[in-house]
Structure 1
Amino acid sequence: MRRLQPPGWPPPKGYANGIEASGRLVFVAGQIGWDETGAFVSDALAAQVEQALRNIVAVLAEAGAGPEHVVRLTWFVTSRDEYLTSVKEIGVAYRAVMGRHFPVMSVVEVSALVEKFAKVEIEATAVH
């Protein structure tokens, strides 16, 4: 895997502008902040982010992959404002699960998610 950073561009914080990779592709469906029993771990956005990422890592493990193989994350959040006010806690939760691996990412605000209590849904693509 090689991070792509155009000359003269400021380094991104918490994500990569691009990644070049080759290998076996793993696609992980959108994961939300509930545990393996379907119970939400918390009403707090950062806690739901951490659980969604833990769910992604569990799915990746089924393919013999780990967080270091993730090349893209797409986040859907129900509140841009809550995301921005929780960004420090989200960073802590992210690093607890993903370490210091920062793939290509997009964060999109949506009006709602299918699961009523979900505040975030995260999709992942990995290459290993």
Structure 2
Amino acid sequence: MIRHLNPASMPAPVAPLYAQISIAPAGPLAFIAGQVAINAEGRLVGKGDHRLQAEQCFRNLKSALDALGVGPEHVVRMGLHVVRHSDDLVGPIFEAGHSVFGQGWPVCASLFLGVERLGQADWLVEIDAIVSLVADFGALRISV
């Protein structure tokens, strides 16, 4: 499975939602395109609402993981892109993720980035991911 490291020589994560380093076993990777708040029917969910849009983005990410036959523990890296980001959006966006993944939150190397705009004016959140399709490391040795 994916190994997560937080070396003592690096700052501790500001929340237990990510790791400073994620190591994936050698093998195939899947690159999940940026998921926006478009549902399976092609409709935008949560116009004007960051939390509702984030929840749909996480649903789409979970659907992609399901289609690959893997779980959130296979996510190596996740990028969250948020239009007009402010400190008060962090909580609602992570709450949206927890409403989809529950205790299975994909702890991984991650990026939370405020952006001016996404591909369409009504899109407020976009989430992409890199996923390992390999189950274990075999003989890999890591020392930190």
Q: TM class by shorter-chain length?
A: 0.7 to 0.9
Q: 1:20 aligns with which of 23, 39, 47?
A: 23
Paired residues, what number? 126
Paired with 1:115 and 1:19, the residues of 2 have a C-alpha distance of 31
Q: Secondary structure at the match of 1:49?
A: helix
- Structure 1 residue 8 displacement after superposition: 4.8
Q: Which runs of 5+ in 1 are unaligned?
A: none
Paired AA for residue 57 in structure 1: K
Q: Normalising by structure 2, what TM-score?
A: 0.79
Cα distance per residue 1:70-98 (max 9 Å; x no partner) = 111112211122xx212222222111223
Paired with 1:100 and 1:30, the residues of 2 have a C-alpha distance of 18
Cα distance per residue 1:25-73 (max 9 Å; x no partner) = 1110000012111212213111111110110111122221121211111
Q: Which runs of 5+ in 2 are unaligned?
A: 134-144
Paired with 1:80 and 1:108, the residues of 2 have a C-alpha distance of 8
Change (3 A) 1:100 1:62: closer
Task: Report the RMSD for the aligned CA atoms in angstroms.
Answer: 1.6
The aligned counterpart of 1:11 is 12
Structure 1 consecutive aligned stretches of length 4 or more whose deviation exceeds 4 Å: none
The aligned counterpart of 2:124 is 119
The aligned counterpart of 2:139 is none
- Structure 1 residue 10 displacement after superposition: 4.3
The aligned counterpart of 1:53 is 58
Paired with 2:70 and 2:29, the residues of 1 have a C-alpha distance of 10
Sequence identity percentage: 33
Q: Normalising by structure 1, what TM-score?
A: 0.88
8 Å contact kept, 2:37–2:57: yes
